Amino acid sequence: QLQKDLEEVKELLTSTTRKRVRDVLTAEKHKLELEIKNQPPPKPKDVAEEEKSSLGGYTVKINNYGWDQSDKFVKIYISLNGVQKLPAENVQVNFTERSFDLLVKNLNGKNYTMTFNNLLKPISVEGSSRKIKTDMVLVMCKKKREEKWDCLTQVEKESKEKEKAAYDTADPSEGLMNILKKMYAEGDDEMKRTINKAWVESREKQYKGDIPMDI
């Protein structure tokens, strides 16, 4: 488009005789030439198409995973159907001492990402890696120290500690109530029915004098 504008300005310059008009057109010509010069060179069609296909579709955040550990590694298992069919460079993992992020490009027209920040303990960036298996990516985080991890991240640890503090009360019946309330709040309809039934039955027994303690 810019090239067409430039050609038109050049044509006008050849036909005009008035100095003021020539000055305006000359200034516009220089401006267009500069814009054209500063444009990035067009990519070859095959490269542009390849980039488009490798990053095509939309990005999906992965939330489901499994993990376990050995003395030397923390292993995170991420299920992705057909991932083994991708070129190896489409599955990328970047590690830092306390985090990693996974990017899987162009799997069935979508990109998949997963990020773990604030890992519970430091890992060795050089010793960590990823393996592509059938319908699965295995992320291997090399432990800096050979010790057991109670969970994957610092956030999970703090969350567990808060829950434990809430249940470690002086009154055991209050601790039980907290657990029941949490189960009821997070449970499905079946769980809610079960807890309601148990609650009604315990109340009936209490009224009959079978359970002296109020739970």
pLDDT in tens, 115-144: 999 999 999 999 999 999 999 999 999 999
Instruction: Judge whether 114 and 95 are in contact, CB under 8 Å.
Output: no
pLDDT in the model for residue 51: 47
Highest mean pLDDT among 21-25, 52-56, 135-139, 175-179: 135-139
Nearest to 22 by CA among 32, 30, 14, 33: 14
User: Where exactly are the structural domains of the chain?
Assistant: 1-38, 59-143, 169-210
How many other CB atoms are found less than 10 A from the CB of residue 106?
A: 17
How many other CB atoms are found less than 10 A from the CB of residue 36?
A: 12
* SS3 label, residue 122: coil
Average pLDDT, the chain: 80
Dihedral of CA atoms 166, 169, 174, 175 in degrees, nearest 10, equals 60
Given this structure, which CATH class describes domain 1-38? few secondary structures
Whether the predicted model's global pTM rises above the 0.85 cut? no
- Per-residue tokens: 122: 């430091």
* SS3 label, residue 182: helix
35 vs 156, which has greater pLDDT? 156
Dihedral of CA atoms 64, 106, 86, 52 in degrees, nearest 10, equals -160
In tens, the pLDDT along 83-122 reads 999 999 999 999 999 999 999 999 988 999 999 999 999 9
pLDDT in the model for residue 96: 94
- The architecture in CATH of the region 59-143 reads Sandwich (2.60)
How many other CB atoms are found less than 10 A from the CB of residue 162?
A: 9
